[in-house]
Structure 1
C-alpha cells in the first residue's frame, strides 16, 4: 500500500557528498557487525564481574541475537513509514546509547536488558546501509557499492574476536562496548550532516503477520542457541521452541498468501534471482560464522595458541576478503556475476578441503593459506550475490528485500553454528571412544612403547589418554570442515536459477529516486 512521496525526487547522479555518506553509513554497519562476535571472547570476564553462572552469561549473546533477528524484518516498513534517514539516525543513536549502558552495567539483568535494546536498534543498520548504497548510486555502480558494503559485513565478524580479546586483555571487558562510542559518534555526525532524506510511503502495518514472523524467528533462535546447553530433545523447553518455530512459520506463510496487504508482499518471492540469492546467502552465513566459531577454540585448545596469536593467525582470512572486494568491485558489470559466484564457491570449497587436512602437529602455514583462499572465495561470492539479488527486483521492494537478505544471512549463521557444534560434540565422543579403546596394557603396541619410555604404567596410560583427546577433537573438527565443504558444493547448482543483470535501456531508467532536504 503506497501513498504520495514527500519531497522533490532527484536522480542519484545529483546526490552530493556520496563519499562522506558512504563512510558514515559503513562506520555504523561495521560497528553493528563487530558486536556479533566481539563480545564472545569477553564472556568469561563478564561472568565473574556480573556474578553469573555459565548458563546465565550465555543470555548476553542470546538476547542480542534474538532481538536483532526479530527486528530485522520490520526495517523495510519503518523506513517507508518514517523515512530511511530518520530511521538510520535513530537506530545508530540508540545502538550507541545501549552500548554505553552495556559497558556500565552492574548486574546481569541490566546487561541482558541493554543487550536487548542494542539488538533492537542495531537490527536495522545492515539492511539500511545496503538500501542507501543501492539508492544513491547508479545501477552500473552497484557492483562497487556492494563491494564496499560487503567489505564491512565480511571483515567485521572476522576481526571482532581479535579486537575483543585485545581490549579485554589490555583494559577490561567493558571496553568491548565502549569502543562503539567513537565509531558511532563519527557515523552519526556524517549521517546528520550528509545523509539525504528519502520519500516516505503510507503503508499499513500487518501486526498479525509481524507477530507470527517474530514468533518463528525468536523461537528458532532460542531453539538453536539453547539446544546444546539443554541436551536438545531431552529438554521440554527445546520441544516447545521447536513447536513454536513450526507454528509461527506455517501460520505466517498461510497469512501472507491470503492477505492483500501482508507484512511481506508475497510478490517479492516471484523474483527468481532474489529467492535464489536468499538461499545462497543462507549458505554463506553458515560458512562465514560457523568457521569463525570453530577455528578460535581449535587453535587455542588443541594447538595451544594464545588469544592474540589466534587473532593474528586468522587475520589473513580478512586480508583475502579485502583483496577479493577490491577486485570484484571492478569486475561486476564486466564479467557475468554468476561466473564470479561460481569461482568464489569453488575457492571456498578448496579452502575447506585444505582445512580437512589439519593435524595436531601442523604449524600455522596451513591455517594462513586456507584462510586467505577462503577469504578470497567468500569475497567473490558476497559482492556479486548482493548485486544479483537486486538486479531484477522492482525498486519499491528493495528495503524489504534487504531486510530479508540480512535476516537469512543471520539465520544461516545461527543454523551453521548449531550444526557444527552438535557435530563436533558427537564426533569427539565417537572418535574418543575408538581411540581410547586401544589404550590397554594388553595391547602389544602399548607394551612396546612403555618399555622404551621411563614412566610407570599408570602415568603412561594417563599421558596417552590425554593425547588421544586432542586427536579425537582434531578428527571432529576435520569432519566439520568436510561437512561445510559439502554444503558449499551443494549451493553451486542454484546458479542455474539466476539471471544476469539486464543492461539499462536508454532513457528508461527506473532507478529509485531520493528526496533532498
Structure 2
C-alpha cells in the first residue's frame, strides 16, 4: 500500500473556481438554450421543421461520443492544456454557429461545438476535486452541481429572451465574453497536472463510440421517425446493442482496454453511476415536460414560463450551498435519502396539477423538487469519488457526465412517447362519452347535446385539454415511481470517511 501524498494548497483557488464554473455554465447552457431558437432558425437557414432538429442532434451525438475519451486526452496532452483547448474550440465554433448561413454549415459547426465542449464538464469536476482537500470536496461539488443543474433550468428562458429581444444568433454570441473571461482565468491560475501517457485503445473507443452515438441518435430521432415503426430506429438500436456488447467483451478481455474495468469495482462509483442516471432522467425529463405544459394548457409566454420555473433553480442552489457546508457533519447517505423523499413528494404534488389551478402549486412543487435534487446531487457527486483511486478520476468524471446525459436523453424520450400515446388514448376514452345519450352532456351543454357545431367545438377543446393534462400527470407519476425505486440503492453506498487513503493525490506541479 502506497503512502498518500499530503494535499498541497493551490494558490488562487477562488479565482480558479470562478473561471472553471464560467466555462461549465457556458457549456451546460448550450445544451438547452438553443432549443427555443429553432423556429426562428428555420427561415434564415433554409431548413424545414423536420430538418432543423439536426441542429440539436449533431451537438448531442458529438458530445456523447467525445465525452468518454476525455480521460485519455487529458493524460496524453495534459488536463490544463485540454481544458483550455476545449474552451477555445467551443467558443470559436459558437461564433461560427452564430454566423452560419445554411443548415449544412450550422450542423457542421454544432457538431464541432459538441466535440470541443464534451471535455469541459468532466474536466471541471476533476479540477475542482484536485484543487480542494478532501474535507472540502462537498463544498466544491455543491458549487459544481449548482452550475450543472441550474444551467438547464435557465437555458430556455435565457434563449427565449435573447431570441425575442435581439436575434437567434445571440444565443451563440453570448458565449464569447463568458468564454474569454473563463479562458484568461484558467490560463493564469489553473495548476499544471503531471501527465501520464498511455496507449490508445482505438478498437475499444470505436465500439463505445458506435454504441453511444447510435443510442443518442435513436433517442433524439425516435419521435420524428415514429420510433419502432421506422427501419432507421431499428438499425440504430441494433448498432447501439452491438457496439455496447462488443465493447463490454473487449474491456473484460483486452490487456489495455480503453476504460480500465477496475474502475467499476469501486462500489460507491458503480452505485453513483446508477444514481446519476436516475437524476438525469428526473431532472431533464421534468424540465422537458413543464415548459410545453405551461405554454399549451395555461397559455404562458416564454418569459412567464421562465419566471414560474425560476424557483426550482433557486431551491436547487439553496440546498446545494447548505448541504456543501453540512456534509462533514451529517451522513451523506441520509442526505441522499431526504433528497429522494423531497423529490418524490414534489412529483406526487405535480400529479395533482389541473388546468384550473393557480401558480402557487407550480411554484411550491418546483422549490421542493429543487431542494430534493440538490440534496441528492451534491452528496452523490462526493460519495461516488470518495473511495475511488485518484488515477481513475478523469475517466470516472467523464463516465459520470456521459451516464447523466444518457439518462437525460432516455428520460426525455420515454416521457415524450408516453405523453403522445397517452394523450391519444385519453382523448379516445373521453370522446366516447360525448354523445346525446349522456345526461351529463345535457346538463353541461344542451347545445352540444343537440349537435350545435360551436358548442361541440368548445367541448372538443376541453377534451383535448383534459386529455393532455391527464397524460402529463401520468408522466409525473412515472417519475415519482422511478424516484422511489432508487431508495434501496442508498444502502449500497459507503460513508466517505471510511474511504481508503491508499491512492496518492494528483500531482500538481
Match status 1:391 vs 2:391: no
Counterpart Cα distance in 1 of 2:5 and 2:503: 12
Match status 1:84 vs 2:79: yes
Partner of residue 287, structure 2: 292
Contact 2:5 2:504 in 1 (8 A): no
Partner of residue 123, structure 1: 118
Counterpart Cα distance in 1 of 2:304 and 2:406: 30
Match status 1:369 vs 2:343: no
SS for the counterpart of 2:225 is coil
Unaligned runs of 5+ in 1: 1-8
Partner of residue 211, structure 2: 216
Partner of residue 4, structure 1: none
Partner of residue 307, structure 1: 302
Counterpart Cα distance in 1 of 2:53 and 2:188: 39
**Deviations, residues 96-134 of structure 1 (Å, cap 9, x unaligned):** 001000000010001000000000000000000000011
Counterpart Cα distance in 2 of 1:329 and 1:283: 21
Contact 1:21 1:195 in 2 (8 A): yes
**Deviations, residues 283-317 of structure 1 (Å, cap 9, x unaligned):** 00000100110000000011100110000000000
Counterpart Cα distance in 1 of 2:92 and 2:490: 42
Cα drift, residue 236 of structure 1: 0.6
Unaligned runs of 5+ in 2: none
- Could you tell me the TM-score, scaled by structure 2's length? 0.97
Match status 1:140 vs 2:160: no
Counterpart Cα distance in 2 of 1:107 and 1:359: 42
Contact 1:100 1:178 in 2 (8 A): yes
Cα drift, residue 448 of structure 1: 3.3
Counterpart Cα distance in 1 of 2:224 and 2:164: 27
Count of residue pairs the alignment pairs up: 506
Counterpart Cα distance in 1 of 2:389 and 2:408: 28
Question: RMSD of aligned C-alpha atoms?
Answer: 1.6
SS for the counterpart of 2:68 is helix
Counterpart Cα distance in 2 of 1:423 and 1:504: 42
Counterpart Cα distance in 1 of 2:502 and 2:258: 28
Counterpart Cα distance in 1 of 2:51 and 2:482: 33
Select 2:193's aligned residue among 198, 202, 210: 198
**Deviations, residues 7-45 of structure 1 (Å, cap 9, x unaligned):** xx9854331110111100110000000011100111100
SS for the counterpart of 2:224 is coil
Alignment of 1:295-374 (within 5 A): 295-374=290-369
SS for the counterpart of 1:13 is coil
Counterpart Cα distance in 2 of 1:337 and 1:442: 60
**Deviations, residues 404-439 of structure 1 (Å, cap 9, x unaligned):** 000000000000000000100111001100111111
Counterpart Cα distance in 1 of 2:343 and 2:160: 27
Alignment of 1:138-287 (within 5 A): 138-287=133-282
- Could you tell me the TM-score, scaled by structure 1's length? 0.96
Match status 1:515 vs 2:508: yes
Match status 1:109 vs 2:109: no
Counterpart Cα distance in 2 of 1:214 and 1:384: 30
SS for the counterpart of 2:223 is coil
Cα drift, residue 509 of structure 1: 7.2
Partner of residue 47, structure 1: 42
Partner of residue 5, structure 1: none
Select 2:88's aligned residue among 76, 93, 114: 93
Cα drift, residue 441 of structure 1: 2.8
SS for the counterpart of 2:69 is helix
**Deviations, residues 163-188 of structure 1 (Å, cap 9, x unaligned):** 00100110010000011011101000
